Homo-oligomer: A and B are copies of this chain.
């Protein structure tokens, strides 16, 4: 996996985006994820792509007794160690695809908006199954497949004469594979997978799907950012909760 995440321009861009109070993660994705969290009292958690470690701290507050946060970005982990340190949290600078090397199993595998960077999801799903305790939970969000679909990156909302978003145009949904786009920097590589590929890979690996959510905003989020009603036209996020069987 490339490591654009330590590129200064990317790092600073991402950081300032997350600090904006109208960012979609805080308005939509994180509230939806929190609703799906299992009881964490006495549990162990592996946070895949933990970034600044804010969720790791939250897991400890919810009663988790051991949290391992991994991220490929050294810079993000530096922030995590500063802002989100706790005796129960261990941060590791490593790729998500190497999780079996940790040599432990966890009660919860958690990941916020990182899996669209994984190339071989079938193999990765099996690795995840190997590090999840039997009966444990996998909870992750990723960019919605409708967003990652379009090969030339030109998926877009269409607007009416007043500038309101009314529809969304995409292509290449059933062409799984690499997508290169600009996000703060050029050549950010993601991988598009149709829904079916994602769900089938998880089922094959030994996960029982419990819930699939394409979140819509709650009233407070619409009040804060009225244009977020665009989520009713086309969702930004796909969230999956599954149980290791």
Contacts and interface: CB of A to CB of B under 8 A. Distances in A.
Interface of A: 146, 150, 158, 166-175, 194-196, 199-200, 203, 208-214, 216, 231-235, 238-239, 245
18 contacts: A166-B171, A168-B169, A168-B173, A169-B169, A171-B234, A173-B233, A173-B234, A173-B235, A174-B214, A174-B231, A194-B214, A196-B214, A199-B211, A200-B212, A200-B213, A203-B209, A208-B208, A208-B209
B232 A212 contact: no
A166 B171 CA distance: 7
Q: How many subunits of this chain does the assembly comprise?
A: 2
Contact of A199 (B209, B231, B232, B235): B209
Nearest to A210: B203
B199 A199 contact: yes
B212 A171 contact: no
Given A209-B203, A214-B194, A167 B171 contact: yes
Contacts of A208: 203, 208-209, 245
Contacts of A213: 196, 200
B196 A173 contact: no
10 closest Cβ pairs, A-B complex = A196-B212, A167-B171, A199-B212, A209-B209, A169-B169, A174-B232, A196-B214, A200-B211, A171-B233, A196-B213
A151 to B, nearest CB: 10
A170 B168 contact: yes
A208 B170 CA distance: 31
A229 to B, nearest CB: 10
Which one of A171, A231, A238 has the greatest number of beta carbons of chain B within 10 Å?
A171
A187 to B, nearest CB: 23
A212 B199 CA distance: 6
A209 B241 CA distance: 12
Nearest to A233: B171
Contacts of A174: 214, 216, 231-235
A59 B118 CA distance: 40
Given A173-B234, A194-B235, A211 B203 contact: yes
